[in-house]
Amino acid sequence: MSKHPRYSLTLLCLALLALLCGCTAPVPVEEPYKEAIVVGFSQVGAESDWRNANTLSMQQAFSASNGYRLIFDDAQQKQEKQITAIRNFIHQGVDYIVLAPTTEKGWDTVLAEAKAAGIPVIIVDRMIEAENDSLFTCWIGSDFLGEGRNAVRWMDSHLEDRPLRIVHLQGNIGSSAQIGRTAGLNEGLSTHPEWELVYRASGDFTQAKGQELVEAVLTQGIDFNVIFSENDNMTYGAIDALKNAGLTPGKDVTIISFDASRHALELVMSGEISYDVECNPLHGPRVENIIQRLESGLESPKLTYVEESAFDAATITPGLLESRGY
Ligand code: GYE
């Protein structure tokens, strides 16, 4: 049977009508009435500027004027809420499920349910660790280990003149963004005996927790000269904590950050952030393109990594800042 009973049914009715009328006139050439494609999108939450830009990009791509009905669910960084949302999507019989997973593990059961219901699942942004990869149709997102390695390469070539005492602010533990960026730093630590990790904790990718962690570091009197912060929002919190303590970000402490959202790039320009590794959140048109391919019966590559860059004072330009859409 056709994957799209809504089209075949319309055509069948037109053909029957033509038969009943006994008319020989050709069937009208207009496009058959197209129902909207229903997409259920389970989003991680609203923890960061990156996330909000990602949500907006998805909402714009899956608009009614583009032929979609988007059912959006914000899971507030809780995997249980995402599992419930996916079950609701299955129950509602959506055409596609798009999942931006909080963490990598724990999806096998619910994705098997989506598979049994015949609903394609597209994973976006972070990855999942599935027991077998037939549980999802495809994934599109970033090379998080590559991002971590990129930051380490910069530290290696720009901070070689002094021993590093690193404060590491991690993202939401168990998420691909945290796992990859942390693994990149760990590689750097293992090959640089002169780099010392003096503090490591998770700030869950939020500004408030980033600030709290750096305040705790300062209160404990830990000596440090680098902050390796796994996203821009935690960096903003860290900067506030440093400034409140009378320290100058970029001078007293070198800050490495991830995402490269517009405000962070302004801080690269002003020297408060020394290096920002880009992570592109504008996945809406990319996922939409995948769905269009699937609608036309084409396959989509199983894994797609988006291209990304990184910026420091030497590479940032006012033009780049202006053109930044997020
Ligand atoms: O870096 C962070 C967000 O998964 C790439 O999640 C995403 C990360 C991003 O909250 O800001």
Atom index in ligand 1 nearest the CA of residue 233 equals 11
Strand-strand pairing, 37-43 and 310-312: unpaired
- DSSP E strands in the chain: the ranges are 37-43, 68-74, 96-99, 121-125, 138-141, 164-170, 195-202, 226-229, 254-259, 275-278, 303-305, 310-312
Structural domains of the chain in order of their starting residue, each with its CATH number: 10-24+33-142+282-295 (3.40.50.2300), 144-279+312-323 (3.40.50.2300)
Distance between CA 46 and CA 71 in Å, rounded? 16
Q: What is the pLDDT along the chain (326 residues), one digit of tens a residue?
A: 344 444 455 545 455 545 554 445 555 555 556 799 999 999 999 999 999 999 999 999 999 999 999 999 999 999 999 999 999 999 999 999 999 999 999 999 999 999 999 999 999 999 999 989 999 999 999 999 999 999 999 999 999 878 999 999 999 999 999 999 999 999 999 999 999 999 999 999 999 999 999 999 999 999 999 999 999 999 999 999 999 999 999 999 999 999 999 999 999 999 999 999 999 999 999 999 999 999 999 999 999 999 999 999 999 999 999 999 89
Residues flanking ligand 1, CB < 6 Å: 47-48, 50-51, 125-126, 142, 177, 205, 231, 258-259, 279
Q: Which of 58, 124, 205, 258 to mutate to test the pocket of ligand 1 (most atoms within 8 A of CB)?
A: 205
CB neighbourhood size of 183 (10 A) = 14
Atom of ligand 1 nearest to the CA of 205: 10
With beta carbons less than 8 A apart as the criterion, state whether 214 and 177 touch.
Answer: no
Taking alpha carbons only, the member of 77, 278, 109 closest to residue 173 is 77
Distance from the alpha carbon of residue 133 to the mean position of ligand 1, in angstroms: 23
**How many angstroms does the Cα of residue 232 sit away from the middle of ligand 1?**
9
How far is residue 148's CA from residue 227's CA, in Å, rounded to a whole number? 14
